[in-house]
Amino acid sequence: MSFDRLIENIVKTQNPSVVGLDPRLEYVPEYIVSKKIKKYGKTLKAASKAILEFNKAIIDEIHDICPAVKPQAAYYEMYGWEGVKTLYKTIEYAQSKGMFVMTDGKRNDIGATMEAYATAHLGFTEVGGENIPAFGADALTVNGYLGTDGIAPLLEKCRAYDKGIFVLVKTSNKSSGELQDLKLGSKTVYATMGEMCEKWGAEVMGKYGYSGVGAVVGATYPEQLTELRKALPHTFFLVPGYGAQGGGAEGVSKGFDENGLGAIVNSSRAVMCAYKKEECDPHEFAKAARREVIRMKEDIISYLPKLKLPD
Amino acid sequence: MSFDRLIENIVKTQNPSVVGLDPRLEYVPEYIVSKKIKKYGKTLKAASKAILEFNKAIIDEIHDICPAVKPQAAYYEMYGWEGVKTLYKTIEYAQSKGMFVMTDGKRNDIGATMEAYATAHLGFTEVGGENIPAFGADALTVNGYLGTDGIAPLLEKCRAYDKGIFVLVKTSNKSSGELQDLKLGSKTVYATMGEMCEKWGAEVMGKYGYSGVGAVVGATYPEQLTELRKALPHTFFLVPGYGAQGGGAEGVSKGFDENGLGAIVNSSRAVMCAYKKEECDPHEFAKAARREVIRMKEDIISYLPKLKLPD
């Protein structure tokens, strides 16, 4: 009902970062893509099979040094239902290797419909008395614009199946301030959303001081990371925007607590496309991804105390 | 690049309502479910095949009297990738019958990722030089919490492929006010979001006075419908919450303009489950759905002028 399993994975690997699996077909080495096109034609099926092979190879190389992966639903939906099948198989494979899987879907809706999303991504769907996990992730990103009755169905699943959610609070993009930074009286919209996370989280507290309701706070806004870390002591942060979007390791360190916990930093393209940046043999793409995971981890922990579970 | 095709469908059918295809397996008559379970076992595949048969039968019965359908993504994701395949096939089937299809996904993300969603739902995915529609809907609901760079990629698709989006402004649920009604200075969050819709929409204006950027405004808030209809003259409204959630026809009439246009009212469960309410033979479920579509249409237009294209 919390992020305890994620926190344990982080301490075990001494790595507070997550690899975003956001695989555009252009990221997949040509030799894999052409092999699948030869077999399945120029189809969404070929693309989806290529992406699955790519993801699995990366997971094989990083699962012992990285606590989690974060597949971004958009990049799977882009390849149609075949792509969504690859999302399912990627989640299943990463979990089989012991990784914590957070689906980045930013889902949101009202009561009954949000319950369907909660069931889809964190729960079990009933068919003729059988309970089947539709996607079975460990955590899901969500958007809280609709208020408490869009969040309540998720809290139930967090409690029943030991899962977590990350609510968008302060996103990493340039125009995030258009709405999120506006002031409601003396408080910003994002601070208000953050307070709601603390409130919702009180129902699903874990044993390491963090609840099952986390917050997305962009690496590109270190001041807000500092402010929110202080204001939201029980809220675990998912921090996108490191690297490609311009967030640095010193900045992201503001999201962590005195045990080096409380946040996990995402990197997607820099890991998936490390082989392009290195200009190494494309067959070595997964090993290049591993090297980038290690580089990133060392960059981030150089600003943190040794990661440890609280006493 | 706008809702012109939707508006033409509405005038042709004299029906400003849309049927939400949110098919929980419990809504599908037992004889269909058991047939599929017999063939495919107690699986997500059986559930997904049952839902597809149900959807197609409803579309067959209503396509001549109803301008549009709105499949809700959550209820397909709930049945895994097989369910998402049913979403794809439902969209394809409804379009083949001339219906305007709006996928209710409330998608949201930043730049490059939002572009992937835009490609997935409104555009074409490139594989080896072929451009393939992944889901190919006519419109998509989206959440604007992330600001302009979460919306810009959608506007491009609207322009290129004659599509539309609906942005959440004031949702129909009880706790929608927790964030949406808060005041930013003298203006509410929802009014601010509404203004953004007018601004974004200016780039994708249609020929009947409405842009390709619509707004979701709940039937359960007639005062806000009145306020927003006046404040947002170029923004087409998608109005959920009629019937089951307590919104009445007189209230929803506030969302329409002097030509009986400017809004489309959604009903999901009341149509899909009309056969349960009528207690008729379950084999007549699609005919019962048709009767409910007619009843709803007559209820709504009784408060409106004759629907016509503007001079």
Total of domains in chain A:
1
Quick check: B165 pLDDT over 90?
A: yes
Structure tokens, A106: 């930013």
In this complex, which of A42, A146, A196 lies closest to B171 when CB atoms are compared? A146
Query: Taking the model in full, what pTM does it have?
Result: 0.96
Which of A6-15, A167-176, A301-310 has the weakest average pLDDT? A167-176
Task: With a cut of 70, say whether residue A1 has pLDDT above it.
Answer: no
φ and ψ at residue B260, rounded to 5 degrees = 75, 20
Taking an 8 Å cut-off on Cβ atoms, the answer to whether B149 and A111 are in contact is no
> How far apart are alpha carbons B61 and B67 in whole angstroms?
12
Structure confidence by residue, pLDDT tens digits, A234-269: 999 999 989 867 789 999 999 999 999 999 999 999
Please say if the pLDDT value at position B166 is more than 90. yes
Q: Are B197 and B204 in contact (CB under 8 A)?
A: no
Q: Do A149 and B174 touch (CB under 8 A)?
A: yes
> What residue numbers bound the domain in which B57 lies?
4-301
Beta-carbon separation of A106 and B143 below 8 A: yes
Q: What is the mean pLDDT of chain A?
A: 95
Count CA atoms closer than 13 A to B236's CA, side-chain side: 31
Set of chain B residues whose Cβ sits within 8 Å of the Cβ of A108: 106, 108, 143, 168
How many Cβ atoms from other residues are within 10 Å of residue B113's Cβ?
A: 26
The pLDDT of residue A145 is above 90: no
CB B214 within 8 A of CB B167: yes
What does the DSSP 8-state code read for residue A205?
Answer: B
pLDDT of residue A147: 85
Residue A202: helix, strand or coil by DSSP? helix
Q: Do A176 and B146 touch (CB under 8 A)?
A: yes
- Report residue B209 as tokens: 């006075």
Residue A163: CATH number of its domain: 3.20.20.70
Residues of A in contact with B266 (CB under 8 A): none
Q: What angle, 0 to 180 degrees and rounded to 10, lies between the N-to-C axes of helices B222-231 and B189-201?
A: 40
pLDDT score for A247: 80
Residues of B in contact with A116 (CB under 8 A): 22, 24, 72, 74-75, 77-78
Q: In angstroms, what separates the C-alpha of A191 from chain B's closest C-alpha?
A: 11
pLDDT digit string, tens, across residues A281-300: 999 999 999 999 999 999 99
User: What is the per-residue pLDDT for A172?
Assistant: 84
Q: How far apart are CA B282 and CA B40, in angstroms?
A: 22
Q: Which of B22, B24, B26, B84 to mutate to test the interface with A (most CBs of A within 10 A)?
A: B84
Cα separation of B237 and B228, whole Å?
9
B256: in domain: yes
Dihedral angle sign, alpha carbons of residues B132, A86, A151, B114: negative
CB pairs under 8 A between A and B: 225
Please give the pLDDT value at position B201: 96
Mean pLDDT of B138-158: 92
Most B CBs within 10 Å: which of A43, A48, A121, A127, as the mutation test of the B interface? A127
User: What is residue A146's predicted lDDT score, i.e. its pLDDT?
Assistant: 83
The confidence score (pLDDT) of residue A111 equals 87
Q: Nearest residue on chain B to A183, judged by CA atoms?
A: B184
Digit-coded pLDDT (tens) for B49-68: 999 999 999 999 999 999 99
- b/e map of A278-300 (b: 16 or more CB within 10 Å)? eeeeeebbbbbbbbbbeebbebb
Of B42, B78, B173, the CB nearest to A130: B42
Q: Which of B22, B36, B82, B145 to mutate to test the interface with A (most CBs of A within 10 A)?
A: B145
Which whole number is the average pLDDT over A114-139?
97
Does the interface predicted TM-score (ipTM) exceed 0.85? yes
Of the candidates B289, B269, B268, B293, the residue with the CA atom closest to the CA atom of residue B278:
B289
Please tell me the predicted confidence (pLDDT) of residue B1. Answer: 61
Whether residue A310 is contained in a domain is answered as no
Q: How many CA atoms lie within 13 A of A180 on its CB side?
A: 27
Q: Is the residue at A144 inside a domain?
A: yes
Confidence (pLDDT) at B171: 87
Q: Which of A22, A37, A109 is nearest residue B106 as measured by Cβ atoms? A: A109
Give a yes or no: residue B232 inside a domain. Answer: yes
Task: Answer yes or no: is pLDDT of B116 > 90.
Answer: yes
Tell whether B249 is covered by a domain: yes
Q: Is residue A307 part of a domain?
A: no
3-class SS letters over chain B: CCCHHHHHHHHHHCCCEEEEECCCHHHCCHHHHHHHHHHHCCCHHHHHHHHHHHHHHHHHHHCCCCCEEEEEHHHHHCCHHHHHHHHHHHHHHHHHCCCEEEEEEEECCCHHHHHHHHHHHHCCEEECCEEECCCCCCEEEECCCCCHHHCHHHHHHHHHHCCEEEEEEECCCHHHHHHHCCEECCEEHHHHHHHHHHHHHHHHECCCCCECEEEEECCCCHHHHHHHHHHCCCCCEEECCECCCCECHHHHHHHCCCCCCCEEEEECHHHHCHHHHHCCCHHHHHHHHHHHHHHHHHHHHCCCCCCCCCC
Query: Mind listing the pLDDT tens digit for each residue in A7-44?
Result: 999 999 999 999 999 999 999 999 999 999 999 999 99
Q: Is residue A38 in some structural domain? A: yes
In degrees and rounded to multiples of 5, residue B41 shows phi and psi of 80, 180
Q: Assign residue B65 a region: left if phi > 0, alpha if psi is -120 to 50, beta otherwise?
A: alpha
- Cα(B253)–Cα(B112) distance, rounded to whole angstroms? 38
d(CA B112, CA A244): 12
The catalytically annotated residue of A106, A170, A276, A277 is: A106
On whether the CB atoms of residues B66 and B44 are closer than 8 A, the answer is no
pLDDT at B107: 95
Contact flag A174-B149 (C-beta cutoff 8 Å): yes
Q: Is B106 a catalytic residue?
A: yes
A238 within a domain of the structure (yes/no): yes
| pLDDT tens digits, one per residue of A56-100 | 999 999 999 999 999 999 999 999 999 999 999 999 999 999 999
Q: Is-contact A52 A90, C-beta < 8 A?
A: yes
C-alpha–C-alpha distance, residues B232 and B236, integer Å: 9
Average pLDDT estimate for B158-187: 90
Q: Where are the beta strands (DSSP E) in chain A?
A: 17-21, 68-71, 100-107, 125-127, 130-132, 139-142, 164-170, 183-184, 187-188, 213-217, 237-239, 263-267
**Separation of alpha carbons A106 and A165, rounded Å:** 10
Confidence of residue A51 (pLDDT cuts 50, 70, 90): very high
